């Protein structure tokens, strides 16, 4: 198997629990060659933890000095467009974290750069690789549930620690940052929605809780509930339910813990696995990065961004938003 | 106290009859009569409650001086008419939820009860279930409620529930009110606006919607969501559940009210067997006490009306494809 050289830009929260461990598991596919982060403390800690010696505080220097096949970008959302364009324009395949960009224009620019340069571009919609969600998609495709009628998705957590999330101009709040996961998944599972309506709870101008309902072509309706309003003692939780004409499925992360650990005054609960979603999604980028067919085309992720922005528009007082079929080519 | 059970149309009548039988044994109240406009159901009642008086005409029951109060468990669209006959005749009423299928009828019920000095309660058993009661106390220590996400998913009850002529709608009419009432009760705030979507009708069972997603705002814009869908398909191990998750300034509380179940296999099929609190019994006891003390039930007629306004606004929103203010539902009527 040809090993592709990977550089990671942004060694923060997500990279520490997702991309770092995934790259270590995928040694046969990827050489974890170099890392970049503007914060030297974060950079050094990550370097030590994952044993990557080649490190840069300037990602541009990494791109020009290292002969990378792939750059993974896991920096704060407002930097996605600039960094993504730089990566693509230097002929490097791009794995971009979700949300794709803060604006549709930003996403479109990256798609154009990837086409112009003939480089692969995949957005980190990890839920499409999450084992339970994948299984629901498979059973749906099998016709086990019949025609979809009702779907529900919860994604409940606490306010993320990095400060940029608290600035509405940088993160756009829980709708763009969190609800986009389920919007993307619902598009994959059911199809394109016709309308979206959202309401929520704001901290100043920052959406902290989003409750949204969607209508799809056909008979399906869906509910999405994403929140950062839970207190620090809360354990992140997801819930998904699909009801069809012939059957149904439901899953709840709180009901699917496989390991509980108790030490002194703290405890943890998790469902560890070698082939977790973050590992699967990076493994799926190997073929496209070698010129193969995209597993998750960026044009598809563009539509999820479009939908998330429509949700935000409704959330900010636009009421019911009708969605037109505007397909990015 | 002598209580009549009016109509076995609603599935909950079975549980209330069971409670009344228990209260009779305890010497607290007596189930003195049954009234039903359906001859087949009345015949069943005759077999089951031999010693009770039986009526097929509500006006006759209303004239019976031995009846102090009645529980009205008819089809939704008949409830107000029956209740109004009883209230006119000076009987106290506990109305099954939704209190009526139409807001103006519910307003009339509330007005009549107050004019005649009678107790009018709404059957909101969740207010009497121990877990939501604890949750209300817990929330009062957690600062202001910021958002509520709730669901009352259940099995399609069959019968007339998806026939709008008898039920006034479908799942939205049937299941919105329980959790909408809890949101009002927990927060102490009124609803101001509603947006809703309806899901397809239950195949071949009338035109009432099989599911509903109702997004509401309280008067201070606090978001409250309600999933009122008949989304537990045949084969699901229990009838359904009541979920309410509330985030507040200083914490959160998550209710799964009907989680106390044995996981059983009986005759080859997997079923949940409930052993949680008996909220129906506490609710009827509360109604009996309220009548005895000439006071209000924990969930009043007005509480029933407020929850019904959310339902009416939801249907109006579906028709108009936009959020609808509760004030639009009230129109010019002042109450
Ligand atoms: N797929 C998922 O499930 C998931 C989960 C969490 C976050 N995310 C996304 O991942 C991205 C990162 O989120 P996070 O929670 O890890 O944030 P974070 O703030 O913890 O990490 C971002 C890191 O990027 C570094 N950085 C900032 N600007 C940089 C630049 N110009 N060049 C190099 N490094 C730079 C920061 O120093 C920081 O270490 C966000 O877009 C977020 O939405 C996705």
Q: What residue ranges do the domains of chain A occupy? A: 4-126+279-292, 128-275+306-322
Residue nearest to atom 6 of ligand 1 (CA): A14
Mean pLDDT is lowest, of B141-145, B177-181, B197-201, for B197-201
pLDDT digit string, tens, across residues B53-68: 999 999 999 999 999 9
Annotate B213-282 with DSSP letters as a single string.
Answer: EEEEEETT--EEEEE------TTSSSSB--EEEEEETTEEEEEETT--EEEEEETTEEEEEE-S--HHHH
**Which of B245, B255, B259 would you mutate first to test chain A, the one with the most A CBs within 10 A?**
B245
Q: What is the domain range of residue B170? A: 127-279+308-332
Higher pLDDT, B203 or B48: B48
Look at residue B22 and tell me whether its pLDDT is greater than 90. Answer: yes
Alpha helices in B6-69 (DSSP H): 12-25, 39-48, 58-63
B52 within a domain of the structure (yes/no): yes
Structural contact between residues A69 and A4, judged by C-beta atoms closer than 8 angstroms: yes
Q: What is the pTM of this model?
A: 0.95
Distance CA B186, CA B247 (A): 12
3-state DSSP assignment of residue B120: strand
pLDDT digit string, tens, across residues B109-163: 999 999 999 999 999 999 999 999 999 999 999 999 999 999 999 999 888 888 8
B303 within a domain of the structure (yes/no): no
Per-residue pLDDT band for B201 (boundaries 50, 70, 90) equals confident
B250 and B198 share one domain:
yes
3-state DSSP assignment of residue B131: helix
B46 and B194 share one domain:
no
Q: Give the Å distance between the CA of A149 and the centre of ligand 1.
A: 36
Question: B269 forms bridges with which residues in the sheet?
Answer: B266
Structural contact between residues B226 and B253, judged by C-beta atoms closer than 8 angstroms: no
CB of A134 within 6 A of ligand 1: the answer is no
CB of A162 within 6 A of ligand 1: the answer is yes
Give chain A's radius of gyration (CA, Å). Answer: 20
B179 and B316 share one domain:
yes
Distance CA B64, CA B95 (A): 19
Question: Other C-beta atoms within 10 Å of B250: how many?
Answer: 10
Question: B215 forms bridges with which residues in the sheet?
Answer: B195, B225
In terms of Cα–Cα distance, which of B107, B59, B105, B54 is closest to B78? B105
What pLDDT, on the 0 to 100 scale, is given for residue B48? 87
3-state DSSP assignment of residue B47: helix
What pLDDT, on the 0 to 100 scale, is given for residue B332? 55
Entry field: residues in chain B: 335
Question: A158 forms bridges with which residues in the sheet?
Answer: A229
Structural contact between residues B122 and B304, judged by C-beta atoms closer than 8 angstroms: yes
Distance CA A7, CA B291 (A): 75
Distance CA B76, CA B315 (A): 16
**Which of A209, A246, A254 would you mutate first to test chain B, the one with the most B CBs within 10 A?**
A209
Per-residue pLDDT band for B50 (boundaries 50, 70, 90) equals confident
Sign of CA dihedral B67, B68, B73, B77: positive
B11 and B105 share one domain:
yes
Question: Other C-beta atoms within 10 Å of A287: how many?
Answer: 14
User: Which residues of A fall within a CB distance of 8 Å from B198?
Assistant: 221
A247 touches chain B (CB under 8 A): yes
3-state DSSP assignment of residue B2: strand
Looking at chain B, which residue has its C-alpha nearest residue A198? Answer: B215
Report CB contact under 8 Å: A320, B211.
Answer: no
- Tell me, what's the ipTM? 0.93
Residue nearest to atom 7 of ligand 1 (CA): A14
Counted domains in chain B: 2
Distance CA A108, CA B48 (A): 72
Per CB distance under 8 Å, which residues of B are interface residues toward A?
146-147, 149, 151, 195-200, 203, 210-211, 213, 215, 217, 222-223, 225, 227, 229, 231, 233, 236, 245, 247, 250-252, 321-323
Structural contact between residues B174 and B239, judged by C-beta atoms closer than 8 angstroms: no
Residue nearest to atom 39 of ligand 1 (CA): A12
B216 and B290 share one domain:
no
Report CB contact under 8 Å: A219, B203.
Answer: no
User: Which CATH number covers residue B10?
Assistant: 3.40.50.720
CB of A45 within 6 A of ligand 1: the answer is no
CA A251 from chain center: how many Å? 20
Q: What averages of pLDDT result for each successive group of 10 residues across chain A (329 residues)? A: 96 98 97 98 98 98 98 98 98 98 98 98 98 98 96 97 96 96 98 97 97 95 98 96 95 94 91 95 98 97 98 96 67
- Only one residue has tokens 């609710």, namely B283
B202 and B275 share one domain:
yes
Report CB contact under 8 Å: B146, A150.
Answer: no
Look at residue B206 and tell me whether its pLDDT is greater than 80. Answer: no
User: Which CATH number covers residue B327?
Assistant: 3.30.360.10
Distance CA B105, CA B52 (A): 30
Q: What is the CATH number of domain A4-126+279-292?
A: 3.40.50.720
B117 and B212 share one domain:
no
CB of A126 within 6 A of ligand 1: the answer is yes
Q: Give the Å distance between the CA of A163 and the centre of ligand 1.
A: 11
A vs B, Cβ pairs < 8 A, gives 91
**What mean pLDDT is reported for chain B?**
94
Looking at chain A, which residue has its C-alpha nearest residue B220? Answer: A201
Which A-chain residues 187-226 have CB contacts (< 8 A) with chain B? 195, 197, 199-201, 208-209, 211-213, 215, 219-223, 225
Q: What is the CATH number of domain A128-275+306-322?
A: 3.30.360.10
What would the mean pLDDT of B12-41 be, rounded to a whole number?
94
Distance CA B48, CA B43 (A): 9
Distance CA B312, CA B106 (A): 12
Distance CA A87, CA A64 (A): 10
Distance CA A290, CA B31 (A): 79
Cα torsion for A97, A103, A107, A113, to the nearest 10°? -120
B111 and B135 share one domain:
no
B269 within a domain of the structure (yes/no): yes
């Amino acid at each position: 198997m040809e090993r592709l050289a990977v550089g990671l830009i942004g060694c923060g929260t997500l990279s520490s629990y997702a991309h770092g461990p995934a790259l270590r598991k995928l040694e046969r596919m990827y050489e974890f060659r170099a890392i970049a982060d503007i914060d030297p403390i974060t950079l050094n800690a990550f370097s030590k933890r994952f044993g990557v010696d080649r490190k840069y505080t300037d990602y541009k220097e990494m791109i020009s000095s290292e002969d990378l096949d792939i750059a993974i970008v896991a920096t704060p959302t407002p930097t996605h467009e600039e960094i993504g364009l730089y990566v693509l324009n230097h002929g490097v395949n791009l794995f971009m974290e979700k949300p794709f960009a803060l604006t549709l224009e930003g996403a479109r620019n990256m798609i154009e750069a990837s086409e112009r340069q003939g480089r692969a571009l995949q957005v980190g919609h990890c839920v499409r690789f999450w084992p339970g969600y994948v299984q629901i998609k498979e059973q749906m495709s099998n016709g086990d549930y019949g025609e979809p009628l009702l779907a529900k998705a919860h994604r409940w957590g606490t306010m993320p620690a990095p400060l940029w999330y608290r600035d509405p101009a940088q993160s756009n709040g829980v709708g763009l940052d969190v609800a986009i996961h389920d919007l993307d998944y619902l598009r994959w599972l059911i199809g394109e929605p016709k309308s979206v309506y959202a309401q929520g709870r704001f901290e100043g101008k920052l959406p902290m809780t989003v409750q949204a309902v969607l209508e799809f072509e056909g008979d399906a309706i869906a509910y999405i509930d994403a929140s950062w309003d839970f207190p620090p003692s809360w354990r992140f939780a997801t819930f998904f339910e699909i009801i069809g004409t012939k059957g149904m499925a439901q899953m709840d992360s709180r009901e699917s813990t496989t390991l509980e650990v108790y030490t002194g005054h703290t405890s943890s609960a998790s469902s560890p696995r070698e082939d977790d979603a973050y590992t699967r999604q990076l493994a799926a980028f190997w073929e496209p990065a070698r010129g193969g067919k995209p597993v998750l085309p960026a044009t598809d992720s563009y539509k999820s961004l479009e939908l998330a922005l429509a949700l935000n528009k409704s959330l900010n007082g636009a009421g019911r938003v009708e969605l037109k079929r505007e397909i990015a080519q | 106290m002598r209580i009549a059970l009016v109509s076995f149309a609603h599935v909950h009548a079975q549980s209330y009859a069971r409670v009344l039988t228990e209260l009779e044994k305890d010497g607290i109240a007596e189930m003195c009569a049954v009234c039903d406009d359906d001859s087949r159901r009345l015949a069943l009642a005759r077999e089951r409650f031999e010693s009770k008086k039986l009526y097929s005409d509500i006006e006759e029951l209303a004239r019976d001086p031995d009846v102090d109060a009645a529980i009205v468990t008819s089809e939704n669209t008949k409830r107000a008419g029956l209740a109004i006959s009883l209230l006119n005749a000076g009987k106290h009423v506990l109305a099954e939820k939704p209190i009526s299928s139409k807001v103006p009828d519910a307003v009339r019920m509330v007005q009549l009860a107050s004019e005649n000095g009678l107790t009018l309660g709404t059957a909101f058993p969740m207010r009497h279930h121990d877990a939501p009661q604890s949750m209300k106390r817990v929330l009062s220590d957690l600062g202001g409620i910021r958002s509520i996400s709730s669901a009352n998913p259940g099995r399609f009850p069959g019968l007339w529930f998806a026939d709008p002529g008898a039920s006034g709608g479908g799942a939205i009419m049937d299941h919105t009110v329980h959790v909408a009432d809890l949101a009002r009760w927990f927060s102490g705030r009124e609803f101001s606006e509603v947006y809703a979507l309806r899901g397809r009708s239950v195949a071949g069972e009338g035109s009432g919607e099989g599911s509903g997603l109702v997004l509401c705002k309280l008067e201070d814009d606090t978001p409250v969501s309600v999933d009122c869908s008949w989304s537990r398909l045949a084969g699901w191990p229990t009838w359904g559940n009541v979920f309410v998750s509330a985030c507040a300034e200083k914490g959160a509380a998550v209710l799964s009210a009907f989680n106390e179940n044995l996981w059983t296999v009986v005759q080859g099929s997997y079923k949940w067997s409930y052993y949680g609190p008996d909220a129906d019994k506490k609710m009827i006891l509360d109604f009996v006490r309220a009548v005895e003390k000439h006071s209000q039930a924990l969930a009043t007629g007005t509480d029933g009306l407020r929850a019904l306004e959310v339902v009416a606004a939801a249907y109006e929103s579906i028709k108009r494809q936009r959020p609808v203010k509760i004030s639009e539902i009230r129109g010019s009527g002042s109450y």
